[in-house]
Amino acid sequence: MGQEALLEIEKIDVFHGSFQALWDITVEVRKEEMLALIGANTAGKSTLLDTISGLLHPARGKIRFNGQDITQMEPHRIVDLGITQIPEGRRIFPEMTVLANLMIGSYPRRARANSEKNLKTVYQLFPKLKERKSQIAKTLSGGEQQMLVIGRGLMSEPRLMLIDEMSLGLAPIVVNEIFKTLKTIRESGITILFVEQNVRKSIQESDRAYILENGKVALCGTSAELCEEERVKKAYFGI
Amino acid sequence: MGGDLVTPLVMGILLGGLYALIALGLSMVFGVMRLINLAHGDLVILGSYLSYSLLKYLGMDPILSLVITIPILFGLGFLIQQYLMRRAFAISSEAPLIIAFGIALIIQNSVQIQFSPLQVGISTAYSMASFNIGSMQFPVSYLLDFLVALIVMLAFREFLKRTYLGRAITAASQDKKAAQLMGINTGLIYGLAFAIAMISAAIAGTFLGMTFPFTPTSGTQFLIIAFGVVIIGGLGSLLGTFIGGLILGLVQTFSGYFLGSAAQMLFVFLTVLVVLAIRPQGLFGK
């Protein structure tokens, strides 16, 4: 795992209408790392992910991916470049089958040629999805739906995967299982940025983390560094 | 005409096919974009007048004329969505309805200026012919309507299920944000969906024109029937639209058979009201 930057977010301000959600955010995502974005509900984590994905555009600042300026790019072009977001809330296509959901994942032209191969890979990572491939997506359990949206994201051959609040509403056993699979995914060369409210879990599972508070970066560092931080200990571990 | 129920049965099914074909475009646009296209009936009738003109001035067979009318309505649909409806949606959720209403008026009046308010029809040798089942006679045009409706419905279903574009349209209709995050250009997709719905409107217009006489204001009457079909069959289901059409056709012919032609449309609308009261999402609605 190198120190080379894959995604550079530089001093961005993001607004929802006239309400400012992010202030002067600078974040660096390095190649092949597992990066956590931690913070409470209103911290602005989802806003940041939506901005990276192009659903929102910053009023100030720049975003660069592999050196290329993507600040004002349309969402579908950002997916084409290799950034795929797994949004919060397990947003499956409810009326389509598991297989149909996965196949939508290979919609970007670049990913279509390898769709059969990628499907095999997804089935290997998540055998339950293979079992249930003809089932209508809305009938799957919460954990299975989460696996489905991650699998669907993988079908687009991302270089960077953004995962928003994956563990909400899932049992700890299921969450652990999915994090194990994320490790395998990372080992295949994909960089992962995940967003979580659970601080302990996030620091445990990541190489580095950023902590957001009220739309600003409060802290950043490796897991070891953060565990030593007084503020982290006090605020989140109750020490 | 004593206990001969086969006639209203066959006529009802065949007529229902035409109703389904007309309603298909309305159903699809609502299913994908949640837009109630009040101009739909008039766009269908525009298709009828286009076919009629090509026959009258160029002697072109109506079915052949689809080669011209389909691209015209496809392009028109794309332009309407991209340059009118998209902006209307950004303003408010009612604005698209008003725009659609405006388009309907523009079409009706333009057609009236060009063609006069008199009734016209598309007549060919085969559209006036009839065929026999046993000792009973049925119009060939009705049979064509049904077959074409069936083919178009099956073709649309295959398109939506098996092609990348079709699946993208389906996905965008179920979760727009998730579709965008999958790399689907929803801005373009909605335009294509509307354009594809207009393909069915062009086909419906031609076959409608061969089955019934029409005037510039016929669009309204068929919009209302299309509404009824979509309410009964359920919004967002192509199969539901087809079945809804059949049900409406059968209600019309059977009530005409038992109670006289004045009762036909009354019972059609009573059926729509009953479905709205008991199962508002329609038989196959989601």
What stretch of H or E contains B100?
Answer: helix B95-115
Q: What is the pLDDT of residue B286?
A: 65
Report the DSSP beta bridge partners of residue B18: none
Neighboring chain B residues of A150 at a CB cutoff of 8 Å: none
Q: Which of A76, A94, A152 sits opposite B185 (nearest CB)?
A: A76
Strands A34-38 and A191-196, by their bridges, are parallel
Q: Is residue A133 classed as helix, strand or coil in its secondary structure?
A: coil
User: Please, is A238 exposed, middle or buried when counting C-beta atoms within 10 Å of its C-beta (0-12, 13-18, 19+)?
Assistant: exposed
Q: What backbone torsions phi and psi does residue B166 show, to the nearest 5 degrees?
A: -60, -45
Query: Which residue on chain B is closest to A105 by alpha carbon?
Result: B182
Distance (Å) from the alpha carbon of A112 to chain B's nearest alpha carbon: 9
Residue with tokens 């200990």: A233
Q: Which of B167, B175, B180 sits opposite A55 (nearest CB)?
A: B180
Asked if the Cβ–Cβ distance from B182 to A94 is below 8 Å, we say no
Q: Is residue B181 classed as helix, strand or coil in its secondary structure?
A: helix
Mutual angle of helices B164-174 and B186-211, in 10-degree steps: 100
In tens digits, chain B (286 residues) has pLDDT values of: 445 788 899 999 999 999 999 999 999 999 898 889 999 999 999 999 999 999 999 999 999 999 999 999 999 999 999 999 999 988 988 899 999 999 999 999 999 999 989 999 998 888 888 888 777 888 999 999 999 999 999 999 999 989 999 999 999 999 999 999 999 999 899 999 999 999 999 999 999 999 999 999 999 999 999 999 999 998 778 899 999 999 999 999 999 988 888 888 899 999 999 998 998 888 887 6
> Per-residue pLDDT tens for A98-124?
999 999 999 998 899 999 999 999 999
User: Please, is A99 exposed, middle or buried when counting C-beta atoms within 10 Å of its C-beta (0-12, 13-18, 19+)?
Assistant: middle
User: How many CB atoms are closer than 10 A to CB A44?
Assistant: 25
A238 pLDDT tier (thresholds 50, 70, 90) = low
Q: What is the pLDDT of residue B7?
A: 87
A76 pLDDT tier (thresholds 50, 70, 90) = very high
Asked if the Cβ–Cβ distance from A93 to B180 is below 8 Å, we say no
Query: B181 at the A interface (CB within 8 A)?
Result: yes
Rounded distance, CA A100 to CA B44, Å? 33
Q: What is the pLDDT of residue A239?
A: 47
Least trusted range by pLDDT, from A52-56, A97-101, A203-207: A203-207
Q: Which of A74, A76, A103 sits opposite B167 (nearest CB)?
A: A103
Q: What is the pLDDT of residue B206?
A: 96
Nearest Cα to Cα of residue B42 among B85, B103, B113, B89: B103
Least trusted range by pLDDT, from A50-64, A224-238, B23-37, B254-268: A224-238
Distances (CA, A) of A194 to A45, A199, B2: 10, 12, 75
Indicate if the pLDDT at residue A217 is higher than 90: no
What stretch of H or E contains A90?
Answer: none
Please list, in sequence order, all residues whose beta carbon lies within 8 angstroms of the beta carbon of residue B184, skipping any fewer than 6 positions away.
A76, A104, A107, B168, B171, B172
Q: What is the DSSP letter of A17?
A: T
Q: What is the pLDDT of residue A237?
A: 61
Q: What is the pLDDT of residue B1?
A: 46
Amino acid identity, residue A162?
A: L
Mean pLDDT over each residue of chain A, to the nearest integer: 90
Interface of A with B (CB under 8 A): 53, 55, 74-76, 79-80, 84-85, 87, 91-96, 100, 103-105, 107-108, 112, 152, 156
Q: What is the DSSP letter of B81?
A: I
Domain boundary assignment for chain B: 6-278
> Per-residue pLDDT tens for A154-197?
999 999 999 999 888 888 899 999 999 999 999 999 999 999 88
What number of C-beta contacts closer than 8 Å exist between A and B?
67
A157: region left, alpha or beta (phi > 0 left; psi from -120 to 50 alpha): left
ipTM of model? 0.89
Q: What is the pLDDT of residue B279?
A: 87
Rounded distance, CA A75 to CA B91, Å? 22
Torsion of CA A114, A116, A117, A123, to 10 degrees: 140
Q: Say what the pTM is.
A: 0.88
Rounded distance, CA A157 to CA B11, Å? 53
Please list, in sequence order, all residues whose beta carbon lies within 8 angstroms of the beta carbon of residue A135, skipping any fewer than 6 positions away.
A97, A98
